[in-house]
Amino acid sequence: STGGSLYERIGPQALHALVDRFYSLVASHPDLAPIFPADLRHTAEKQLAFLTGFLGGPPLYHQRYGHPRLRARHLPFPITVELAQAWLACMKAALHQTPDITPDDARELYAALSRVAIHMVNTPDSTP
């Protein structure tokens, strides 16, 4: 990919499409769906705002909601490594379903989100 931030390269329309696809996959995932609200519109709006700033665009999440404190905000949900992998699998599938994001940009975005997702793990896997 050429210069600019990942946000500039991907663009607001493709990012919006990615977030919508991601949450429709989350909504049909057996382990993820139960911990999310039934109506994902507000969650998707917050995620789009967060990713816009995270990828180098305008800091919409900070402007609307303040500091994200992502790890603290996720503490009410028991997030195991397995669940983080499920979240990332939905993101990978959503990236594959968004062909207007180039493979290079998709890889870079996925790598960045992998680092954040691992940071959200707050519960040991339930291995017998």
Residue numbers 103-122 binding ligand HEM by CB under 6 A:
113, 116-117, 120
83 touches ligand HEM by CB under 6 A: yes
Q: What DSSP assignment string belongs to the chain?
A: --SS-HHHHH-HHHHHHHHHHHHHHHHT-TTTGGGS-S--HHHHHHHHHHHHHHTTS--HHHHHHS---HHHHHTTS---HHHHHHHHHHHHHHHHT-TTS-HHHHHHHHHHHHHHHHHT--S-----
Per-residue binding string, ligand HEM, 31-70, x by CB under 6 A, is ----xxx----xx--xx--x--------------x--x-x
Q: Which residue has the tokens 């499409």?
A: 17
Give me the half-sphere count of Cα atoms (radius 13 Å) on the Cβ side of residue 103: 0
124 near ligand HEM (CB under 6 A): no
Residue span binding ligand HEM (CB under 6 A) among the ranges 2-10, 11-19, 73-81, 92-100: 73-81
| Least distance between ligand HEM and beta carbon 59 (Å) | 13
Least distance CB 32 / ligand HEM (angstroms): 6
Which residues are at the interface with ligand HEM (CB under 6 A)?
Answer: 35-37, 42-43, 46-47, 50, 65, 68, 70, 73-74, 77, 79, 83-84, 87, 113, 116-117, 120
